Amino acid sequence: MAMTMTDPLRRAGLDRRAFLRGFTGCCLAASPLLTPMTLASAPSENRLVVIVLRGAMDGLDVLRPVGDPAYAALRPGLASGAEALPLDGFYALHPGLTDLLPLWQAGQLGFAHAVSTPYRDKRSHFEGQDILEAGLPAMTGQGARDSGWLNRLAGLMPGATARTTFDIGREPDLILRGPAPASTWYPQPQPGLSSQARRLADMVFHEDPLFRDQAAAMFDLAEEEAGGTDRSQPQHLQVADYLAAQLAAETRLAAFSITGWDTHGGQKVALKRPLKELSETILRLRQQLGPVWDRTAILALTEFGRTARENGSGGTDHGTGGAMLMAGGAVRGGRVFADWPGLEEASLYDRRDLQPTRDVRALAAGAIRTLYGTAAGDLEARVFPGLDMAGTPQIVL
């Protein structure tokens, strides 16, 4: 009896390093004991931040194709009111993003329009988000939900550790789910345990791999927590501050979400909050990143666009083609990448939605190739299986 009682405790104590290794990866290159020099030669100095805009952002409202002759008639209510900001004669920016205009002028804010994932027809948020994050043409087949494209990219980066990749949010996002190690964070203080209880906790969690790895990460975060973020600010700014600190250190890939884009009704009011959060987040990152901003590309992606026509509730319903926003010193901003399909009814997808003319995954893949030198073969086979990158414009550096 005494044996079985002391055994697990001793085992847990001895294996603490092994848990951490289990959490951070399998091999020597991933060990937390590595020297800083080795880390410095790790992946790249470039940073990629993906913001998942959950709920389906209305690309036609955020980036308005005011130069299209059919636009005004499709959006009689939404296009009225506060003035949109003219960008290039054809497109105008939603007034909710006014604060980002200086970035556009500095070439640090750009868009792609009439883009989408390969998802069509069912227009389900949840399938649409799964496809966006899994980076696959469809969610059929075993293992489709086992990993996301940003996690598979992390797996291709030489010398990546758990700190190379950060998922910020209350729930782990599919885009970062998978075998490559990643860290998570959410703006909440960590619990305190006595050292004795801490050792017992290692023992209690030890037999269950899912809990063991997350508990190790929880205790690591608790140790470094103290005094980091200013908790009096809104949560999205806490996220931006924390993320900026990580990006300035070891982190190269990160993802988080902004919700609130499912504007079936009262869209003029409903879009205010998510646009404000998006705009403030980007500006705070720029302010906090300093010189690292120049090596940073932010891509804001959504599951699909919304109907070309506004509906009877001053909103829009689930659609197909939409817009991607990109920001950062590393993006080729001040322009809109688009093969514009036109908005007359015959040009619409299903006679209702903006016709997608480019796969948004190809744009992301092109950016990754330039930022990290990832081979096109790896991108088309492993990060985005089944993708054809041919003819993709260069959106970064």
- Residue ranges in 10-49 that form contacts with other proteins under rule CB under 8 A: none
Shortest distance (Å) from residue 47 CB to other proteins: 22
Nearest distance in Å: CB 294, other proteins: 31
Q: Does 313 bind other proteins (CB under 8 A)?
A: yes
With helix as H, strand as E and coil as C, how does the chain read? CHHHHHHHHHHHHHCHHHHHHHHHCCCHHHCCCCCHHHHHCCCCCCEEEEEEEECCCCHHHHEECCCCCCHHHHCCCCCCCCCCEECCCCCEECHHHHHHHHHHHCCCEEEEEEEECCCCCCCCHHHHHHHHHHCCCCCCCCCCCCCCHHHHHHHHCCCCCHHHEEEECCCCCHHHCCCCCCEEECCCCCCCCCHHHHHHHHHHHHCCHHHHHHHHHHHHHHHHHCCCCCCCCCHHHHHHHHHHHHHHCCCCEEEEEEECCCCCCCHHHHCHHHHHHHHHHHHHHHHHHHHHHHHEEEEEEECCCEECCCCCCCCCCECCCEEEEEECCCECCCCEECCCCCCCHHHCECCCECCCCEEHHHHHHHHHHHHHCCCHHHHHHHHCCCCCCCCCCCCEC
Asked if 75 interacts with other proteins (CB under 8 A), we say no
Least distance to other proteins, CB of residue 57, Å: 14
Measured from the CB atom, the residue of 167 and 380 that comes closer to other proteins is 167
Provide the minimum distance between the beta carbon of 140 and other proteins in the complex, in angstroms, as a whole number: 9
Q: How far is the CB of 158 from other proteins (least distance, A)?
A: 25
> Of the candidates 66, 70, 85, 204, which one interacts with other proteins according to CB under 8 A?
204
Phi, psi at 151, each rounded to 5°:
-65, -40
CB 4, min distance to other proteins, A = 6
Size of the site for other proteins (CB under 8 A): 57
Interactions with other proteins, residue window 225-284 (CB under 8 A) = 259, 262, 264-265
Q: Which stretch binds other proteins (CB under 8 A): 31-39, 59-67, 210-218, 366-374?
A: 210-218
The least distance separating other proteins from the CB of residue 323, rounded to whole angstroms, comes to 21
Tokens of 184: 């998570």
- The sheet carrying 63-64 orders its strands as 63-64, 92-93, 85-86
Residues numbered 141 to 200 that lie near other proteins (CB under 8 A) are 145, 170-172, 177, 183-186, 188, 190-191, 193-194, 196-197, 200
Shortest CB 46 distance to other proteins, Å: 26
Rounded to a whole number of angstroms, the minimum distance from the CB of residue 200 to other proteins is 4
Residue 317 sits in the site that holds other proteins (CB under 8 A): yes
> Residue 216 CB, nearest distance to other proteins (Å)?
8
Residues 335-374 that bind other proteins (CB under 8 A): 350
Query: Nearer Cβ to other proteins, position 315 or 366?
Result: 315
CA 291/CA 286 separation, integer angstroms: 9
Binder among 88, 207, 345, 388 for other proteins (CB under 8 A): 207
By beta-carbon proximity to other proteins, the closer residue of 108 and 164 is 164
Residue 210 sits in the site that holds other proteins (CB under 8 A): yes
**Among candidates 115, 108, 107, which has minimal Cα distance to 62?**
115
Site residues, other proteins (CB under 8 A):
4-5, 8-9, 54-55, 121-127, 145, 170-172, 177, 183-186, 188, 190-191, 193-194, 196-197, 200-201, 203-208, 210-211, 214-215, 217-218, 220-222, 259, 262, 264-265, 311-313, 315, 317-318, 350
